[in-house]
Structure 1
Amino acid sequence: MKSVDEIYQELLDAFAQRAGFVPENTCDLAVRLYAAAAQIQALNIQAEWVLDQSFPQTARGMYLDRHAAMRGLSRLPASKAAGTLRFSVDSPPALSVGIPAGTVCMTADERRFQTTGGVTLEVGKTYVDAPAEALEAGSGGNAVAGAVRFLTACPVAVTACVNPAAFSGGSDAEDDETLRERILESYRRLPNGANAAWYEQTAMSHDGVAAARAVGRARGIGTVDVYIAGESGLPGAALLEEVREDLRERREIAVDVEVKAPATVPVNVSAAIAVREGADFGEVKAQAELAVSNLFTGRMLGRPVLLAELGNRLYGLEGVENYRFSAPAEDLAADGTVLPVLGTLTVTELEA
């Protein structure tokens, strides 16, 4: 890209060839030529930007979305983390206590979660569990067990809340690079109404499907099994039926299509981390647990679990100086019918 000064000098040279003299730098004509040079450079920048947005390899944002739409694809939206909130009392109540849907609790850093259904703490009980989700979509809604412990509006008689298990399944909207890879893959594997790419792309067009894998001849000639996963992991029965009905209606003639939930393989992760001088191990540990948990979403369907990827997530955290894995001992190979899920997660301090 030429600078303004380079363009200005070219304008001066062209003027001098035709007029027979070079204007003084302080004259009105020179100022006009410099202003024209600045506008020409701006047009060059705009033309280069337009060229970038014209191809999926370089387009960004809404322009990349338009390339995706031409391939029948769309950007995966952000999803909310889901989990369970446990409400407890100091002593068993004499009367049942209702906890309505929409009751909000939060973490120490003010990430908020709300119950998605009303529950009742029965007489004689000291706690009750309620289904809940993050108030806002995105990976920031994922939280390790025990992180949610503050009531914002305390229900009558309830004295404490906590999440006994991690909130998971929260993910940010698909970023440009991931969407770009899917678009380019749709060119490399052209869907033709009969191949695996078509079945996978059709399944992915349904809201709630985070990943899909098609297996041909799964049950013999003329059969196709399509495995799907939701953002938080295994798909619900309603989503399975929705995709199944769609594919059966649009399938090839005489092809038997089944839509299935994948098998799950728990992956136990045990890591020791060394923190940088001045960093608090407790805070870094919480970040490390969250970073590892965020990897295991439904988008892992058919993908390998790589130690290098797990290590990058840890080493990229502020405060982590070094790490060492004792589990898993090796990479987990990819299998289109299998969804890796997080089993036990242990993060300890690496001894010097």
Structure 2
Amino acid sequence: MRTTEKIYQEMLGAFRERSGCDLENSCDLAVRLYAVAAQVQALECQTDWVLNQSFPQTAQGVYLDDHAAMRGIARQEAEKAVGMLRFSVADAPLGDLSIPLGSVCMTEGEMRFRTTQAAVLAAGDLTVEVPAEALEGGKGGNVAAGSVTVLAVCPVGITGCTNPAAFTGGTDAESDGALRARVLASFQRLPNGANAAFYEEQALRHEGVAAATAIGRARGIGTVDVYIATAAGAPDSTLLAEVRKDLQAKREIAVDVQVLAPVQRGVNVTVELDAGEEDFVTVKGRVESAVAGWFTGKLLGKPVLLAELGRLIYAVDGVKNYHILSPAADAAGNSTTLPKLGTLTVTEMGS
């Protein structure tokens, strides 16, 4: 793309060629020509931008969304991390303590979580665990076990809270790069109403479905098994029934379609860290959150590669070096299997 100065010089050259004389830089006409050159350069920028938005390979933002819509694809929204909150008391109460729906707890970094159902800490008990979710979608909600310790809205009589396991399943809204890859793949694997790409694309149109794999002739000729996963992992029965009903209506004639939850395969991760001069506990928490956020439903059918896991860990702020002790080798992918984070152990290197 030409700069304003280049356009201006070309205009001076054209003026010289046609008039036979040069312009002084300080004269009124030279100033006017420079202003025109700036406008021409702005038009060239706008033209280049419009050209980029005209093709999915270079479009961005809402313009890429428009290209995706033409292929029947929508950008996946941010998903909230889910997990369990454990409410506790110092001494066993004589009566039941009510924990209302929407009770809020948070981490020291002020990431907030709320209960998704009402619960009761029964008389004589010290703790009760309640399902909860992050208030906002995104990877920031994937926090390590024991990170949620602050009662933001304290239920009457409750004195403490924590999360016994990590909150997982939080994902950011689909990036332009990821959406672009799906749009381009839709041209390479054209859904024709009968192939795996068709069933996978139809399943992914349902809200909450983060990944889908289709297997033809799974149970013999004329059968198709479609496995789906949510960002948090396995889908519930409601989502399975919804997708099954949709695919039954759109399937080929005489084809038996099943929509199934994948088999979850636990992957235990043990890693040693060198945090250098930074506080190890702080860096450890960041790594735990990053690893927990990586094991989402989008791993359905994909392998667990040590190279990807290592790159993820090394990119965490404060990590100077690391050593993955387990898994010892890459785990192959399988269309029916969803890798799920098992135990996560992070220790200090050399300790």
What residue identity is the alignment partner of 1:145? Answer: A
Q: Which structure 2 segments of 5+ residues have no match?
A: none
Write the distance in 2 (CA, Å) between the matches of 1:78 and 1:84.
20
Name the structure 1 match of 2:116. Answer: 116
Name the structure 2 match of 1:293. Answer: 292
**The residue matched to 1:225 in structure 2 has which SS?**
strand
Name the structure 1 match of 2:230. Answer: 230
CA positional deviation for 1:79: 0.8
Write the distance in 1 (CA, Å) between the matches of 2:288 and 2:166.
10
**The residue matched to 2:284 in structure 1 has which SS?**
helix
Write the distance in 2 (CA, Å) between the matches of 1:86 and 1:322.
34
Q: Which structure 1 segments of 5+ residues have no match?
A: none
What residue identity is the alignment partner of 1:291? Answer: A
Name the structure 1 match of 2:155. Answer: 155
Report if the CA contact (8 A) 2:95-2:123 is conserved. yes
Give the TM-score normalised by structure 2. Answer: 0.98
Write the distance in 2 (CA, Å) between the matches of 1:71 and 1:34.
45
What residue identity is the alignment partner of 1:49? Answer: W
Write the distance in 2 (CA, Å) between the matches of 1:25 and 1:342.
69
What residue identity is the alignment partner of 1:79? Answer: E
What residue identity is the alignment partner of 1:3? Answer: T
Name the structure 1 match of 2:324. Answer: 325
| Per-residue deviation, residues 179-237 of structure 1 (Å, max 9, x unmatched) | 11111110110001110000000000000100000000000001000000011000010
**The residue matched to 2:219 in structure 1 has which SS?**
coil
The number of equivalent residue pairs is 351
What residue identity is the alignment partner of 1:282? Answer: V
Write the distance in 1 (CA, Å) between the matches of 2:8 and 2:257.
66
CA positional deviation for 1:350: 1.2
Name the structure 2 match of 1:41. Answer: 41
Name the structure 1 match of 2:273. Answer: 273
Write the distance in 2 (CA, Å) between the matches of 1:218 and 1:266.
24
Report if the CA contact (8 A) 2:79-2:171 is conserved. yes
| Per-residue deviation, residues 127-176 of structure 1 (Å, max 9, x unmatched) | 11111111111111111111001111222211111111111111110001
**The residue matched to 1:320 in structure 2 has which SS?**
coil
Name the structure 1 match of 2:24. Answer: 24
Write the distance in 1 (CA, Å) between the matches of 2:94 and 2:325.
49
Report if the CA contact (8 A) 2:202-2:247 is conserved. yes
Report if the CA contact (8 A) 2:209-2:229 is conserved. yes
CA positional deviation for 1:258: 0.4
Give the TM-score normalised by structure 1. Answer: 0.98
Name the structure 2 match of 1:351. Answer: 350
| Per-residue deviation, residues 267-295 of structure 1 (Å, max 9, x unmatched) | 1111111112x211111111111111111
Name the structure 1 match of 2:243. Answer: 243
Write the distance in 2 (CA, Å) between the matches of 1:259 and 1:347.
37
Write the distance in 2 (CA, Å) between the matches of 1:318 and 1:123.
45
Write the distance in 2 (CA, Å) between the matches of 1:168 and 1:303.
18
Give the root-mean-square deviation of aligned CA atoms: 0.9
Name the structure 2 match of 1:313. Answer: 312
What residue identity is the alignment partner of 1:220? Answer: G
Aligned ranges for residues 109-258 of structure 1 at < 5 Å? 109-258=109-258
Answer yes or no: is 1:63 the counterpart of 2:63: yes
Write the distance in 2 (CA, Å) between the matches of 1:74 and 1:153.
36
Query: Could you list the runs of 4 or more consecutive aligned residues of structure 1 that deviate by over 2 angstroms after TM superposition?
Result: none
**The residue matched to 2:169 in structure 1 has which SS?**
coil
**The residue matched to 1:344 in structure 2 has which SS?**
strand
| Per-residue deviation, residues 263-322 of structure 1 (Å, max 9, x unmatched) | 11111111111112x211111111111111111000000111110110011111121111
Name the structure 2 match of 1:262. Answer: 262
Name the structure 2 match of 1:336. Answer: 335
CA positional deviation for 1:28: 0.6
Write the distance in 2 (CA, Å) between the matches of 1:155 and 1:218.
51
Write the distance in 2 (CA, Å) between the matches of 1:69 and 1:326.
44
**The residue matched to 1:65 in structure 2 has which SS?**
helix
CA positional deviation for 1:10: 0.4
Write the distance in 2 (CA, Å) between the matches of 1:121 and 1:273.
39
Write the distance in 2 (CA, Å) between the matches of 1:321 and 1:163.
28
Write the distance in 1 (CA, Å) between the matches of 2:169 and 2:75.
17
**The residue matched to 2:320 in structure 1 has which SS?**
strand
| Per-residue deviation, residues 8-30 of structure 1 (Å, max 9, x unmatched) | 01001111111121111111100
Report if the CA contact (8 A) 2:142-2:290 is conserved. no
| Per-residue deviation, residues 233-258 of structure 1 (Å, max 9, x unmatched) | 00010000000010011100011100
